[in-house]
Amino acid sequence: MRPPGPLLRIPYTNPLPSPTIHPPFASTLPGAVSALSSFLLDPASSLNPKTVILTGAGLSVASGLADYRGTNGTYRVNKTYRPIYYHEFTASHAARKRYWARSFLGWSNLSKAQPNSSHYAIRDLAKLGLISSVITQNVDSFHPKAHPEVKTLELHGYLRAATCLSCGGEYDRNEFQKELARLNPRWDSFLQKVLMTGALETEDPVEKQRRGVIMNPDGDVEVPDAPYTTFRYPACPSCLAKPPDAVGTDGKKGIVEVDADGAWGGNSNAGILKPAVVLFGESIAERVKEAAEDAVDEAGRMLVLATSMATYSAWRLVKRAKDRGMPVAVVNMGGVRGDDVFFKDLEPEQDGSQGVRTEVPTQSLLPALVQELQRSQSRVFGSPAEIAKFEQGNRAIFKDMLS
Ligand SMILES: [Zn+2]
């Protein structure tokens, strides 16, 4: 199944068929809660009783961020949108200007967006002792924000930093934003104007478009006819101070030159700053790939949330779980790539402990699931008040026995 060569992040754009629900009663909210409770609590497995969670873009939609796919798995708000590819970013100064201009416009809104009920429900599931770790394909940092105490692996990196292609140094995205504003005062005035119209804050994509902006996934904002060629971005400060000995993008010794204000250019071939995300067409770092495999291997089940597993990097992790004999649950509105592979061996009468497939939205399902599990846990172990009452009852019985 594994393609030769490095593991690339590549979008899968074919339409996906509608899923078969497992067990059939998981088509309703109470049914899905019951099935997932059985899934998470099943004591039968000989593997680790804890679950590894894999999440995707659908989880952040309730935070106001755009998804790559719509609910039916094919429709997208902006059908003409095509994300930048790694080779374009590294090879072309013009492509980088365009990328950073659009990212500059999108960042203020993205940095204000907050985790939603699904992220906090994951925190609560972990508090119940049910979760081993989280693997996310999302680059919005909502998981580390909502549950810093839960081990989280960001498979495709994160937008909260920019990283240097030459030295690997990382820079805080908020500080980087200030540099972009300083180098591009007219773009900054334009951004302030757009922010004042509220066009970036409205949830309605049609209204956004009417106000002249198009929001795409991963903080990309498109403004038709904008003069992207005028945008400037800074060079890596450490590579500027000490040009790298290693070769630049053209195979020659590293050269880092900036204009009077500090914008990258001239004869530069190094010190290029890139978002700390795995761009499409870029390889996932070997250590990240291995950490993701370890996260799967140390768990006993896998719960997949709000992803169509459109990227092979995500799909192969679920396949790995299944091949290890781990039960798999998938919560996603719309089809999922290669879905049948994960559920074809389930017994028809199973209660969810062997596997779950449901389309109930995570933002209503996960908080309800947490409530149910908190209730059932207090039934098993007893809440402090219940235990006190039980002990009081015992004392009364013992007193009777003595008299
Ligand atoms: Zn550098």
Q: Cβ contacts of residue 67 below 8 Å, gap of 6+?
A: 57, 58, 60, 61, 76, 217
Whether residue 18 is contained in a domain is answered as no
The model's confidence at residue 26, banded by pLDDT at 50, 70 and 90, is: very high
Residue 241 lies in a domain: no
* Residues contacting residue 370 through CB under 8 Å, at least 6 positions apart: 121, 124, 125, 128
Name the token pair of 400: 């009777």
- Identify the pLDDT of residue 46: 73
Q: How confident is the model at residue 74 (pLDDT cuts 50, 70, 90)?
A: very low
Q: Quick check: is 7 in a domain?
A: no
Per the annotation, the verdict on 156 as an active-site residue is yes
94: pLDDT strictly greater than 60: yes
Residue range(s) defining the domain that contains residue 145: 24-236+272-378
The maximal CA–CA distance of the chain, rounded, in angstroms, is 98
Per 3-state DSSP, what percentage of the chain is helix, strand, and coil (rounded to 5)?
45, 15, 40
**Count of domains for the chain:** 1
The pLDDT, as a whole number, for residue 270 is 92
- What's the gap in Å between 311 CA and the centre of ligand 1? 29
CA of 189 to the centre of ligand 1 (A): 29
Say if CB 319 and CB 341 are below 8 A apart.
Answer: yes
Give yes or no for a contact between 262 and 234, defined as CB atoms under 8 angstroms apart: yes
Examine residue 265 and state whether it is found in any structural domain, yes or no.
no
- Rounded to the nearest angstrom, the distance between the alpha carbon of 61 and the centre of ligand 1 is 34
Residue 200 vs residue 124, higher pLDDT:
124
Q: What does the pLDDT average to over 62-75?
A: 59
What confidence tens digit (pLDDT) does each residue in 155-185 have?
A: 999 999 999 999 999 999 999 999 999 999 9
d(CA 216, CA 78): 7
Cα–Cα distance measured from residue 383 to residue 165, given in angstroms and rounded to the nearest whole number: 54
Return the CATH number at 179: 3.40.50.1220
Catalytic-labelled residue, pool 22, 119, 143, 156: 156
Which residues participate in the annotated binding site for Zn(2+)?
Answer: 164, 167, 236, 239
- Report the pLDDT value the prediction gives residue 225, as an integer from 0 to 100: 80
| pLDDT over 60 (residue 274) | yes
- Which of 21-30, 39-48, 245-254 is predicted with the least confidence, judged by mean pLDDT? 245-254
Residue 35 contacts by C-beta under 8 Å, 6 or more apart in sequence?
22, 23, 25, 26, 329, 351, 352, 356, 358
Q: What percent of the chain has pLDDT over 70?
A: 85
Å from CA of 282 to ligand 1 middle: 19
Burial class (CB in 10 A: 0-12, 13-18, 19+), 228: middle
Q: Output the CA 190–ligand 1 centroid distance in Å.
A: 29
Cα 233–235–241 angle (5° rounding)? 155
Tell me, yes or no, if the pTM score tops 0.75. yes
Residue 242 domain flag: no
**322 within some domain:** yes
**Is residue 199 situated within a structural domain?**
yes
How sure is the predictor about 110, in pLDDT bands with cuts at 50, 70 and 90?
A: confident
Tell me the binding residues.
164, 167, 236, 239
Does residue 79 belong to any structural domain of this protein? yes
Q: What is the pLDDT of residue 363?
A: 92
Q: Give the three-class secondary structure for 240.
A: helix
Between the CA of 236 and the centroid of ligand 1 the distance, in Å, is 5
* Average pLDDT of the residues in 142-161: 97
